[in-house]
A and B are shown apart, each in its own frame.
Chain A
């Protein structure tokens, strides 16, 4: 596991050939406050310009409203920087959380990574 300042990273970040930043989550459960705080910091650090960022949720089984808050803030700062944020591979139980809170209308959500990368 890679360590940053003694902390385990919460995100795995890679860049595809088209310059799209693809982000995977390390944690299956995005719940604990400290983890969510760190997750937010790592997400915000990606927004250093008009980047295209894809968040792949395939590893994520649980997610709380505090994590949703970080996603909303990230989405705003990506837009302000002239970039784009997309989400994909959201487990049906978690997608329900997006539906209940109507955040499925706020975020651009795709079923799988290939669909999300098309026309990004």
Chain B
């Protein structure tokens, strides 16, 4: 349903996100056009990258530019960029252990309603509940462990699946989150 009307193609091997029924969940379908796609201001696709943060930067820039075209606000673009950055670094460094033989797969879909991305690595996975609270005074000076917390703060939803090697993040456009921080 999507590939026939696709207007734009730049990179990559393609999966198209298809809404199988009205109001139903989006499901991935293999798309042979190997590209980023857009249709009616919806941007979607799948990108497979090496365990290389420079490649991660490029896809991050692409996705943020699509979110911009879908009229996400400046703070929302900040949130999306940061969440993708943290999730990709987690996948590349902690998941794949920067192993050049392992890949990271990024599936995304962006429209005027929401941004959604699934990032899957080839690592052993982890239990997000086992990550200590980095704001605990005991851990405040640890140089790592903040990425997951930032992802949860900036996204509407963060969910791990598989063996804990696949994260799905969703951000609804225009959603106001309560600020529970203090000065």
Binding site for B on A (CB under 8 A): 31-34, 62, 64-66, 68-70, 72-73, 76, 93, 96-97, 99-106
User: B140 CB to closest chain A CB, in angstroms?
Assistant: 6
- B78 and A102 within 8 A (CB): no
Identify the interface centre among A33, A97, A103, A106: most chain B CB within 10 Å of its CB: A33
Please tell me which one of the listed residues A66, A97, A101 contacts residue B135 in the complex, with CB atoms under 8 A apart. Answer: A101
Which B residues touch A99, using CB under 8 A? 181-183
User: A72 CB to closest chain B CB, in angstroms?
Assistant: 5
Q: Which residue of A lies closest to B133 (CB)?
A: A102
Binding site for A on B (CB under 8 A): 53-54, 57, 60, 75, 78, 81-82, 85-86, 89, 93, 134-135, 140-144, 146-147, 149-150, 153, 181-183
Chain A facing B: main interface SS? helix
Q: Known contacts A66-B144, A104-B183; can you find 11 more A-B pairs with CB under 8 A?
A: A31-B60, A64-B147, A65-B89, A65-B146, A68-B143, A70-B143, A96-B181, A97-B150, A99-B181, A99-B182, A100-B149
Which B residues touch A62, using CB under 8 A? 78, 81-82
Which B residues touch A105, using CB under 8 A? 140
Q: Which residue of A lies closest to B151 (CB)?
A: A65
Q: Which residue of A lies closest to B154 (CB)?
A: A100
User: A18 CB to closest chain B CB, in angstroms?
Assistant: 28
Which A residues touch B150, using CB under 8 A? 65, 97, 100-101
Chain B facing A: main interface SS? helix
- B143 and A73 within 8 A (CB): yes
Which B residues touch A76, using CB under 8 A? 141
Report Cα–Cα, A103/B85, bound state, in Å: 19
Report Cα–Cα, A78/B51, bound state, in Å: 33
| With A31-B57, A65-B146, A72-B143 as contacts: A100 and B81 at CB distance below 8 Å | no
Report Cα–Cα, A70/B143, bound state, in Å: 7
Which B residues touch A101, using CB under 8 A? 134-135, 146, 149-150
Report Cα–Cα, A34/B144, bound state, in Å: 16
Please tell me which one of the listed residues B86, B134, B140, B149 contacts residue A64 in the complex, with CB atoms under 8 A apart. Answer: B86
Which B residues touch A68, using CB under 8 A? 143, 146
Which B residues touch A103, using CB under 8 A? 140
- B85 and A64 within 8 A (CB): yes
Which B residues touch A34, using CB under 8 A? 53-54
Please tell me which one of the listed residues B60, B141, B181 contacts residue A72 in the complex, with CB atoms under 8 A apart. Answer: B141
